[in-house]
Chains A and B, each alone.
Chain A
Amino acid sequence: SHELTQPPSVSVSPGRTAIITCSGVKLDHNYACWYQQKPGQSPVLVIYQDDKRPSGIPERFSGSNSRNTATLTISGTQAVDEADYYCQSWDSSTGVVFGGGTKLTVL
């Protein structure tokens, strides 16, 4: 199976850098994507193919993937970034897999 593990919560002060990790054995061979979800809203893609930002996503969002760990970094975190973040990957046998989610709190 293809499991993705995220920390349940991350806290950050406004203006600081938030780092959210996603670990999984098969991330070594598969891309990671990241979604932001605010309460009562649909998820929004913020990173695809490990490190690419869709149009309209602020530059403070960046991603990387190395040694079975994908990382979402939010530089200069703002209050508006407070949300749940989910990593997602794909495996040819399992299909699409989502991580357990990380609640980002901006204190």
Chain B
Amino acid sequence: QVQLVQSGAEVKKPGASVKVSCKASGYTFTRYAMHWVRQAPGQRPEWMGRINAGNDNTKYSQKFQGRVTITKDTSASTVYMQLSSLRSEDTAVYYCARDPDYRGSGMNLWGQGTTVTVSS
């Protein structure tokens, strides 16, 4: 079954870091890119960055540059997103999303989302 399964909900204090995982199954992991997108309640999705699972190339949104790190473990078919220096505005649902990685291809498979709550 082709799917992305994300790790469970997190509650963090301001200033802490969070690391969310996304395990892929049912397809060849290295043939796709993986994006991380977050969505605060009632807001539009917001792109954070992506990794090419075949060659480790990463690109980050300027908004999150320096605070977000996307990595992968090819042997485990898993992508990770770490966000540091958390603040209350980072409270959101975080999604991983697969991309066939050609021009205009779009994100054709999404994880179930991971709720991250930042509160003192």
CB within 8 Å of B: which residues of A? 30-33, 35, 42-45, 47-50, 54, 86, 88, 90, 94-101
Give the residue among B47, B50, B62 with the most A Cβ atoms within 10 A.
B47
- Check if B110 sits within 8 Å of A43, measured CB to CB: yes
Interface residues on B, range: 20 to 34
CB within 8 Å of A: which residues of B? 35, 37, 44-47, 49-50, 59-62, 95, 97, 103-108, 110-113
- Check if A98 sits within 8 Å of B61, measured CB to CB: no
Chain A binding surface, main DSSP class: strand
Contacts of A35 in B (CB 8 A): 45, 106-107
- Check if B108 sits within 8 Å of A90, measured CB to CB: no
- Check if B47 sits within 8 Å of A42, measured CB to CB: no
Given contacts A96-B47, A100-B44, contact A31 B104 (CB under 8 A): yes
Closest A residue to B47 using CB positions:
A96
Given contacts A95-B61, A96-B50, contact A43 B45 (CB under 8 A): yes
Given contacts A33-B104, A33-B106, A43-B110, contact A99 B95 (CB under 8 A): no
